[in-house]
Structure 1
Amino acid sequence: MNDLLDFEALKVTIASPEQIRAWSFGEVTKPETINYRTLKPEKDGLFAENIFGPTKDYECYCGKYKRIRYRGVICDKCGVEVTQSKVRRERMGHINLAAPVAHNWYVKGAPSKLSLTLDLSLKNLEAVIYFASYLAVDVDTKLQTQAYEKLEKDLAAKKSVLQENLNKSIASLETELKKQLAGLKKGSKGQGSEHSELEAADLELTTKQEIQRLRDGVVTAESQLEQIYKAVADLVKSINFMRVLSEDEYLKLYEYGVADFLTVGMGAGGLLEVLKKIDMDKLSASLREEVRKSTGQRHIKATKRLRAVEGMRGSNALPEWMIIQTLPVIPPDLRPMVQLPGGRFATSDLNDLYRRVINRNNRLKRLIDLGAPEIILRNEKRMLQEAVDALIDSNLKTTRRGAGGGHVLRSLSDMLRGKQGRFRQNLLGKRVDYSGRSVIVVGPQLRLDQVGLPREMALEMFKPFVLREVIGRGLAANIKGAKNILEMRPAEVWDILEDVTKGHPVLINRAPTLHRLGIQAFYPVLIALSATPFLAPRDEVKYSKTESPWR
């Protein structure tokens, strides 16, 4: 317990897949919550007792082990550990994703950490993540040069084929012309030579026009080929590591047989391959150099990138941790399911969001095992990405995920953010009664920075501090026990109260608070609750010789 009390700060960093598995008590593989006939949690489901702990204190799922004497025993039949049910507020599970998924906060946050780390625009980054574009994850420069040379050879070969076809067509036309001219000569015997000469001239002219048309067609075709091959060659030359390619561009490379030099990826899986290759120390050094040398917009961009990189280096986080491979499942008591009087159930929105993730993940696993076509797998991976996005933060989506009837589901981030979130509503904004109201009386013996505070009022005001100290000194094992001790008011409680109030000023507000001097801080001095002696005869208030009603 002392270890829990002795901390100075909390640090929030990205969790690695290994760390998430270390937190977890088991993998959630089924989307079911509870069995609606037995009203017991389904095994390996979102409320499974074999993962998150028993629903009843010291009783396993099947009932083989009951009572505290079996504490710590894991049932060989149902796999449930015999322990307290409160562990269901602490124990986490996990989901092994069939395909990597990008963390929504690091993609669409402002600024986008993934975008800064990879030096990709947010538009291109989202196109890759949601399977609209390809990302070059590896480029072989030697094969790239060979691909460029292959395009030149293919262009020359196609031009040669066009010329050969042209020559054959011209030869065929000339042969046909000769045959027709010979036929005219035979047919013109005994007739006027002028008529045959005119027909021959007409045939020659028609043939020449056809030959010219064919030559013009070849010139046009060669020009078009040159333009097409030049565009493909320019595309080949422009491709480098982490270049984003549209589907049309990649299909064009594939069509012309020059895609061998390039390894592409899509979705978060492609980003994961790239992130694993990044050396954060080298990237930091190069960005520092760029910040020192650049000016204007380049300087601003390099500074932002350096800040993001240094943040990850400072927390010893690896960039690939921004891609989720193992999804944590929060404890079931933090996303409860409650039975209503009519037999219906009210459940947290998180259960619906987790169920959607598990269903899509299981479907993707099954399709991978069946060897489904790539286009189907791609669509399923995109749907899994969208399901995890909705679970983590639905506000960052353009269209929020809803349940039936138009109800918008609250994501994990929605549970934390805003006025109704966990921090402001529950942690910072608890309804407490650690304050008091009283009439101010004169205390001439007090210093200017002191205020007399009745012991009972002080005990109520400093109750959280006293409870913590009671547990810290070993007088009680938990909060409930500490509260029981406070009810009994032993001498140790007053000693603890004396220690706690030292160095803890209280705020005194004098109504009406018209200016800032209406609220001032004073160090409390504990006094006994006292009353005027004139009340003694009627109310039987008795004082000892050492007591004074005016202290």
Structure 2
Amino acid sequence: MIDQYKHQQLQIELVSPQQIKAWANKSLPNGEVVGEVTRPSTFHYKTDKPEKDGLFCERIFGPIKSGICACGNSRASAAEKEDERFCQKCGVEFVDSRIRRYQMGYIKLACPVTHVWYLKGLPSYIANLLDKPLKKLESLVYGDFSFARPSAKKPTFLRLRGLFEDEIASCNHSISPFFSTPGFATFRNREIATGAGAIREQLADLDLRIIMENSLVEWKELEDEGYSGDEWEDRKRRIRKIFLIRRMQLAKHFIQTNVEPEWMVLCLLPVLPPELRPIVYRSGDKVVTSDINELYKRVIRRNNNLAYLLKRSELAPADLVMCQEKLVQEAVDTLLDSGSRGQPTRDGHNKVYKSLSDVIEGKEGRFRETLLGKRVDYSGRSVIVVGPSLSLHQCGLPIEIAIKLFQLFVIRDLITKRATSNVRIAKRKIWEKESVVWEILQEVMRGHPVLLNRAPTLHRLGIQAFQPTLVEGRTICLHPLVCKGFNADFDGDQMAVHLPLSLEAQAEARLLMFSHMNLLSPAIGDPICVPTQDMLIGLYVLTIGNRRGICANRYNSCGNNSNQKVNHNNNYKYTKDKEPPFSSSYDALGAYRQKRISLDSPLWLRWKLDQRIIGSREVPIEVQYESLGTYHEIYAHYLIVGNRKKEICSIYIRSTLGHISFYREIEEAIQGFSQAYSYTI
């Protein structure tokens, strides 16, 4: 269906019995109406043809072979005689066999049956509307007790039962024969309501607008009472208020969608199209059938038995009829939800039946597997790992995935550039991995973004666009800053890669879905691209260094023997040997590449004159004067070199290569941002 915003959507909702009939019924030329499934049989054991009025009947669901009826006549032979849509002999319509994927049937139930989703779901919609406990409704549905019909104003047998308990207890020996008398059926239909029929009558008598008004009045009364001080009473009042709100919302939804509450009790049970519950014949006379077929068979058998008993209700005991109604209710419950009554139903091999709920819900259900998570062309999947050299808007695609995704584009460019003459030769070049293929592949990838998606896609940041680059290996490389938006980490998570084909899709990916365009959370506005996990550990290791200052090397008595004399004249020489000075960060990086220093080795780096350092100087740890009049003021984390005129010549800061690298990265990022901002202005 399409909603008011023109969005395509699929919605499961209640339908009327008339709509179920309209889905299934077909009128034959002889006036017969087909659509009801009355037999539990599937295929004839001799002819392997569908049984008439069975679960695979061709009259109800359409022909197995396109344009060929059950008799073997084709559309052409029928058209020679008369231009008719149906075969006069078997009544099969001459249509395409694909109709068996959507043509439905129905089972006319001999007694009303509650829909288990609406009775036992949480919250129970039937119990909510009727304002009755769920346990009592379940006991009523499964025939554990009955109640008098509310239509009669005069006292009835069951109403009087509560007034004369002592008298009834003394007459227990005569009650059982009373329920077995031949005239009990008439009395039962007139005075007693039990099973799903009783629920249906109560739902049909509801006035939804009155329910909304009464619930609102009661809610206001509870709101005006306030808190009593009794914790138990306040809790009961709070639960009741929540219940009333849900009841009003449910009644309002029924009114807005034009759905009648009694539709939650089934009189007609829809039968799925045959192609959605197939029977497959394998080699060795093995037959594989859908569990839904077996559950439908059980419903039809029990329903036929109940219909037979109701036709002979004068002879059949009432207890037997009620027991059979309960069996029909349980069979329909098992068909809709196998585990609704506790333990799921099993077959003769102790295998659990897969009900309609099992087919629909879950990761392997109809929606998530075949509609939302179905396999599509131009897509791939692999494990994600860190790409330390990637930009924020880039992702690394393995060569195998990239050549598969962009194969048609590569073939097109190979033929356009006269590198090959036809598609077959182009595929051979790709198979042989010639160098021209990689050149064209990289050229194609430069102008074509890809989409990365991590399931489950809970918000819009679950799928983002990236500029692909070729990488070795079989894993997708990703920048760690985009992991928070995907809710991903690098412990084996997988991502799917999709290729937008049309120009509109590519433009949307570039303008709206690129990762560097989604830096803020769409929900709360906080930054979404923040360092986490591996990146935080890397930054910590990069900047941990030696934080104890110069005093640790110069005046730490723990590092020297107390009986050993310290030569203070060689302290600065010792410091310069262990902590070498560098005039620029490039010299420090060069020394690291030559393995003269390590990442966390302390060093002295010449720094530009910074007024913040000069203006906030503390008392130096040591001042050293040289023969030419220059001096060195040594502080905990920096060193100042001055001349004889007391002018500052240079400043050295005590740092590590990790701090220097981190500072350079931040400085380059700020400069790049400033340049980009100046261009926009």
TM-score greater than 0.5 by the shorter chain: yes
Partner AA of 1:35 in structure 2: H
Structure 1 residues 512 and 11 mapped into 2: Cα distance closer, same or farther (>3 Å)? closer
2:139 matched to 1:127?
A: yes
Can you list the C-alpha shifts for 1:18-68, whole angstroms capped at 9, x where unaligned?
111111140001100001111110111000000000011110101233449
1:460–1:323: structure 2 CA closer, same or farther, 3 Å change rule? Answer: farther
Write the letter of the residue equivalent to 1:382.
K
Name the CA distance, whole Å, in 1 between partners of 2:277 and 2:366. 13
TM-score (norm 2): 0.50
What residue number does 1:80 align with? 92
Structure 1 pair 287/67, CA: closer, same or farther in 2 (3 Å)? same
Structure 2: which amino acid aligns with 1:335? R
Cα distance in structure 1, aligned partners of 2:257 and 2:89: 43
Corresponding residue for 2:590? none
Q: Which amino acid aligns with 2:215?
A: L
Aligned to 1:312: 254
**Cα distance in 1, alignment partners of residues 294 and 403 from structure 2:** 51
Cα deviation for residue 308 of structure 1 reads 2.3
Over the residues paired in the alignment, what is the CA RMSD in angstroms? 4.4
Alignment length (residue pairs): 383
Q: Which has the higher helix share?
A: 1
Q: Distance in 1 between matches of 2:479 and 2:393?
A: 21
- Please tell me the residue identity of whatever aligns with 1:112: S
1:93 aligns with 105
SS in 2 for 1:272: helix
Partner of 1:368: 310
Alignment of 1:172-183 (within 5 A): none
Q: CA deviation at 1:251?
A: 6.2
- Map of 1:377 onto structure 2: 321
Other-structure match for 2:298:
356
Q: Which has the higher contact order (CA 8 A, sep 6+)?
A: 1
1:313, 1:505 → 2: CA distance?
40
1:163-174 alignment runs, 5 A limit: none
Matched, 1:321 2:263: yes
- Counterpart CA distance in 2 for 1:230 and 1:33 is 54
Deviations 1:399-456 (CA, angstroms, capped at 9, x unpaired): 321111111110011001111111122222223342479xxxxxxxxxx9999xx999
- CA change 1:82–1:144 in 2 (3 A) is closer
Supply the distance in 2 between the matched residues of 1:72 and 1:505 (Cα, whole angstroms): 55
Spell out the pairing of 1:126-525 with structure 2 (5 A cutoff): 126-138=138-150, 140-143=152-155, 263-295=191-223, 296=237, 297-371=239-313, 372-435=316-379, 506-508=465-467, 512-517=477-482, 524=506
Q: Any conservation in 2 of the 1:129–1:268 contact (CA below 8 Å)?
A: yes
1:108 shift after superposition: 0.7
CA contact (8 A) 2:39 2:54 kept: yes
What are the Cα deviations for residues 283-323 of structure 1, in whole angstroms up to 9, with x where unaligned? 12111211222252332222222222222222211110000
Following TM superposition, by how much is the alpha carbon of 1:506 offset from its aligned partner in structure 2, in angstroms?
Answer: 4.0
How far apart are the structure 2 equivalents of 1:109 and 1:506? 40
Question: Amino acid of the residue matched to residue 16 of structure 2?
Answer: S
Q: Deviations over 1:178-217 (max 9, x none)?
A: xxxxxxxxxxxxxxxxxxxxxxxxxxxxxxxxxxxxxxxx
Q: Deviations over 1:88-107 (max 9, x none)?
A: 11100000001000000011
Q: 1:368 to 1:343 in 2, by over 3 A?
A: same
Q: Which residue of 2 aligns with 1:202?
A: none
Query: Structure 2 vs 1, CA of residues 506 and 517 (structure 1 numbering), >3 Å: closer, same or farther?
Result: closer
Question: What is the distance in 1 between the residues matched to 2:72 and 2:262?
Answer: 44
Structure 1 gaps of 5+ residues are 152-227, 236-247, 438-447, 462-497, 527-551
C-alpha contact 2:118 2:264 (8 A) present in aligned 1: yes
- For the structure 1 residues 62 and 292, does the alpha-carbon distance in structure 2 shift closer, same or farther, using more than 3 Å as the test? same
Change (3 A) 1:142 1:84: closer
Q: Deviations over 1:256-286 (max 9, x none)?
A: xxx99x9331100111111111111111211
Deviation string, structure 1 residues 453-482 (Cα, Å, up to 9, x no partner) = x99967979xxxxxxxxxxxxxxxxxxxxx
Q: Unaligned 5+ residue runs, structure 2?
A: 26-34, 180-186, 224-236, 382-391, 396-401, 410-447, 452-462, 470-475, 487-497, 509-681
Instruction: Indicate the residue corresponding to 1:531 in structure 2.
Output: none
The amino acid across from 2:144 in the alignment is A
Percentage identity across paired residues of the two chains: 37
Residue 39 (structure 2) aligned to one of 12, 18, 30 = 30
